[in-house]
Every structure is written in structure tokens, then in C-alpha cells.
Amino acid sequence: MNTVEQAVIIGTGLVGTSVGLALRRAGVRVWLRDRDSRAVAEAVRLGAGHPLPATARPSVDLAVLAVPPAAVGEVLRDAQREGLAKHYTDVASVKAPIIVAAAGHGCDMRSFVPGHPMAGSEQSGPGAARADLFVGRTWALCPTAAVRPEAVATARALAELTGAAPTELSAEAHDRAAAIISHLPHLVSSALAAQLRTADSTALRLAGAGLRDVTRIAGGNVPLWLDILSQNADPVADTVDDLIEDLRHVAAELRSRAAIADSNASPAPALASLLDRGNDGRQRLMAERSS
Amino acid sequence: MNTVEQAVIIGTGLVGTSVGLALRRAGVRVWLRDRDSRAVAEAVRLGAGHPLPATARPSVDLAVLAVPPAAVGEVLRDAQREGLAKHYTDVASVKAPIIVAAAGHGCDMRSFVPGHPMAGSEQSGPGAARADLFVGRTWALCPTAAVRPEAVATARALAELTGAAPTELSAEAHDRAAAIISHLPHLVSSALAAQLRTADSTALRLAGAGLRDVTRIAGGNVPLWLDILSQNADPVADTVDDLIEDLRHVAAELRSRAAIADSNASPAPALASLLDRGNDGRQRLMAERSS
């Protein structure tokens, strides 16, 4: 079985530093690099690994690219030119555009396994990292036709060392799934939170746990999410259109009911259907997660 | 200072039973009534109070109507005809339609204080009740021009006995606020969860904590929310329109960017603005709640 004895992490933000902490806990030797030397210093202080030496390079099994989606292609090309590691993976929230970008930059696709651990936080930076961020979570791997089996095995070993469950699927399936389960929710949470910016203070004082939960992810890092949503533009736009269609029907129905004197007399089929389907979808999510 | 020595709770669901538990803990004598005798029996078993006797009526300071919004007018009229208590309040999530319905049913508006404790759960029924449901929460009171000051003082005492902070505002201000902080989030959470009903199982397995949080309230009781959203139809439809407008711009922008070869080159002002405003709104919410 392939395993990871030494790893390099490029990008010591929340995810990169969490990978470092998890691998260190699993006994892996971890080297860290970031273009921001303070971020490396903080990740080192937190125990996520040691700074990657400029010379006397260690023999590294796997380089984990934990940089923003738009940067992965270039960073991968440079790392491969340096011969930084035997195998490479990334953690970006979109996969098909990453593969296109990597191929476009002339990267060696035989050693690269596109990956995405399904875990994160609305916080960012190494200070928010946690060694247990990936425990019990799914780690998506989207191997291309070009990749060597041992690269995939190494990426699977990485996921398992952090406590995650590796799952292989195509980049396109990943991106459609991510649009529904992550990107659309982020956009909608932001749109809800945006309405609070100009709301009365009284309204905000009335707010309860429901609003706090539903807007939590709206607190996420703006440049990162601008990048993620832009990279997955078409699948996200499709899901937004579906959601708008649902809400448009409900709004029209509510207005027509408000115009009726005794609104309790008239049925509200669009609203009833949306609430029912919402109940079903929520139940399905919770069942799937606990299975 | 007015206080509550004996209270009747009509409707022993989640909120009514929680009020009973909280009042009992504060030393109030609590009587319970529900048209479903099993719900009363369960609330009694949980310690929320005693069944309201059919004869030998106690002298009750306050009746708390914890019935669905559409039922409040009629239940209030019947309770006042019975002379059940000195003062009356309700807990419905909409306030202007409740006042219209109560007046329409010929209720005595001098003893009725429309109220709404800003606390709840996606669960329902007496079994989900909690004595601390209202601790630290806002309890909205929307006194009309007709109400006696001692009725308002008694309703304020109720809120304080449960650990909540009473806040007076107009019914219209309450309903506009509730649309933004509660009703729209519920609708949108349902619309997000509805998309999960038909999603691939793979997609659901990839789901993380963000999706779980954002769809939690979609698990709420469908008939209750159908009632709430229908009663607050116009304010809710207004906020839905605003949200759709935001999302429509973003979807159009994403599609136009997807059509460009190097999408990183083109700016995304609508998306960037939405994410920024979402960040601001979330920060404002958390600041308001902690102040």
C-alpha cells in the first residue's frame, strides 16, 4: 500500500495548515511553503510542520497544493519544474477548470490527482486550522485518464491519514455536486445576509438561531469565494436559475393571496410544494449523512 | 409591578409547553389546555403544568394562546367569552393579521397584547419543548392603541419570567422585520433543501456542515409555516423579490463570464458586491446579537 512519509504543503491557509496538523498527528514529516512568510511562521508555530528548506531538498512523496483555485495551474507547473515531489494533489473547490488550467500550463498530468476535501470553515488563515477538520468527512478525488495509479493511491493515503474517506468521481460530477451542495448555498446565504446590511436594528435584535445558522457561511472569505464561484460559473448559474424559478412562483402566489380578503380560504399549492420538497430534501440529507 | 401568579396556556405544542416549563420553573401556577388531549397529557408528564379543570376555574392573570396564527382570532374570542383570564397574549409569528382577525372576531382588544417570542425549533410538539427556550431571547410585544397598560405590564412580566427580554414595537414593524429575519430565510432554506430531494447520492455524500446549517430550518413543520408565510404574504413577497433580483444579476454575470475563455481576466462586480454585502450583513448580525 502506498503511504506518505514526507509531504510538502504549498499554501498555509486554513486548509493547508489543517492538512499539516492532521498529517503531523499521523506521524508524517511535513514541509511548509507559502508566499507569505508570516503565514508559514504561524503554521510552524501551531505545529503544522517545518519550513521547506531552500536547498538540501527532502525526498517528498506528495505535494499538497492548498492555494486559491485560480492559482493551482501555475503553482503546479512551477512545483513540477522544481521536482518538488513524486506526486501532486490540490484541494480546490472546483475540479474541471483546475484540470483545464493544469493541462494549459503544460503540467505533467501523470503525477497530478485533482482533489477536494469536503471540509472548511467560514474562517480563514492558519490560525483557524484544526487537526480534526477532515475527520469523518469525504475527500473527493477526480483522477484523469492520464494519471498513474500510484499517484492516486498516494492521494488516497493522504485523505485516510487525515481521517477522511476518499471518494473517486469525475471532475464534472464533482463540479455539478459542488454547485448544489456548496456553491449555491454560499451564494444564497450571502444574498440573505446582504438584506441584513440595511435592515433596522430592531429587526436584527429579533433575530434567532435560524438566521444565525442560515447566514453563517456568508461570513466566508470574499476573494476565495469570488474565485470558486467564478470558476464553477455554469453549474452554479444552472442551480441559481432553478432556485429563482421556485421562489418566483411562491412570491406570485403570496401576492395573489394577499389580495384576497380571507386568504385562509385559498390554497397555496406552490408554497405547500416548496415546503414539502424542502422537508424531503432535508430528511434525505440527514439520512445520507448518518448512513 | 405586575406579575403572573397563575397562567393558562392554550396549545401545548413546542412553544406552549416551553412557556409552561419556563413559568413553572419561575414558580408560576400553570394550567394547560389543548384540543388534542394526548398533547396535554404529554405536557403534564413533562412538568409544564396541570390540565385546566372544566369547572371550579382558577383565577388566572394571563392566558397565553400558543395556537397556529390562523386560529388565534377565534381561540381568543372563545377564551374571552369564557372569561378564562384577566389578560391575554399570543405567540404567533405574524402580528398585523392577528390583530385584524381578533378585531374581526369581536374580541375585547383592551385585554389582548399581541406577542411573539423570538425562539423556536425546527422540531415540533410538546416532546421538543425546553424550559430555557426563551432565555436571552427577544420577546416582541405589539400593543395596540386599545390595550390597557396593566395587560402590557402582565405580558412583559411573562416574557421576563421565561428569561426573555420584552421589546415593544408596532405590528407592522414586527411583520416587516420577521419577513427579513425569519420568513424569507425559511423559504430560502426550503428552496435549497428542495434541490437536494432529486440530487445524486454522491452529491449528498460530499455535503458538509455548511449545507447542514443552511437547510436546518427547512426541516420545520410544513402546515405551521404554510400558515405563517401565508399570513405575512406581502412583506415576505417583497423580500423574495429583492433576493431574486440579486441572484438574477449574479447568474447572468456568471453565464457571461463562463462564455469568456479566460474568465479570470474579467471582473465580476455583481458577484463581488453580493459577497461583500453578505459579509457586512453577517458581521452586523453577529455584532447586534452580542451587544
CA of B286: which chain A residue's CA is closest? A212
Q: How far is A191 from chain B (nearest CA, A)?
A: 6
Q: Which DSSP state fits B238?
A: H
CB contact under 8 A, A192 and B173: no
Give start and end residues of each alpha helix (H) in B29-95: 37-45, 72-82
Contact residues, chain A, for B246 at CB < 8 Å: 191, 194
Q: Identify the CA nearest to A155 among candidates A137, A168, A145.
A: A168
What pLDDT score does B137 carry? 93
In terms of residues, how long is chain B? 291
- Selecting from A118, A192, A281 the residue whose C-beta is nearest the C-beta of B194 gives A281
Is residue B234 scored above 70 in pLDDT? yes
pLDDT at position B265, please?
A: 54
Among residues B158, B220, B238, the alpha carbon closest in space to that of A209 is found at B220
pLDDT above 90 for B101: yes
Are A197 and B274 in contact (CB < 8 Å)? no
pLDDT at residue A178 in the model: 95
The answer to whether the CB atoms of B204 and A247 lie below 8 A apart is: no
Q: Which residue among A180, A202, A234 places its CB closest to the CB of B169?
A: A202
> Is B259's pLDDT higher than 70?
no
Cell digits for B83? 372569561
Q: Which residue has cell 498516494?
A: A154
Give yes or no for a contact between A254 and B233, defined as CB atoms under 8 angstroms apart.
yes
Q: Among A29-43, A95-109, B119-133, B179-193, where is mean pLDDT lowest? A: B119-133
Which of A132, A154, A26, A239 lies closest to B194 in space, CA to CA? A239
Determine the average pLDDT of the residues in B202-216.
90
The reply to whether residue B208 touches residue A234, judged by beta carbons under 8 angstroms, is no
Q: What is the mean pLDDT of residues B5-33?
A: 97
Q: Do A214 and B216 touch (CB under 8 A)?
A: yes
If you ran DSSP here, which 8-state letter would residue B112 be given?
E
CB-nearest to B254 from A237, A281, A284 is: A237
Q: Provide, as residue numbers in chain A, all residues whose Cβ is less than 8 Å from the Cβ of B220.
A: 279
In angstroms, the separation between the Cα of residue A246 and the nearest Cα of chain B is 7
Residues in chain A closer than 8 A to B280 (CB atoms): 193-194, 197
Please list, in sequence order, all residues whose beta carbon lies within 8 angstroms of the beta carbon of residue B242, skipping any fewer than 6 positions away: A195
Question: Nearest C-alpha of chain A: how many angstroms from B166?
Answer: 10
Residue of A118, A236, A247, A248 to mutate for B, most B C-beta atoms under 10 A: A247
Task: Name the stretches of chain A with pLDDT < 70.
Answer: 1-2, 56, 258-266, 289-291
Question: Which long-range contacts does B252-261 make (Cβ < 8 Å, 24+ apart)?
Answer: B254/A229, B254/A230, B254/A233, B254/A234, B254/A236, B254/A237, B254/A240, B255/A233, B255/A234, B255/A237, B257/A230, B257/A233, B258/A233, B258/A234, B258/A237
Q: Are A178 and B282 a contacting pair at CB < 8 A? A: no
Average pLDDT of the residues of chain B: 93
Which domains, and CATH codes, for chain A?
6-169 (3.40.50.720), 174-290 (1.10.3660.10)
Q: Predicted confidence band at B262 (pLDDT cuts at 50, 70, 90)?
A: low
**Checking DSSP bridges between strand B138-141 and strand B115-117, what pairing results, if any?**
antiparallel
B289 confidence band (pLDDT: 50, 70, 90): low
Q: Least CA distance to B138: which residue of chain A?
A: A206
Judge if ipTM > 0.90.
Answer: no
Cα–Cα dist B254/A35, whole Å = 30
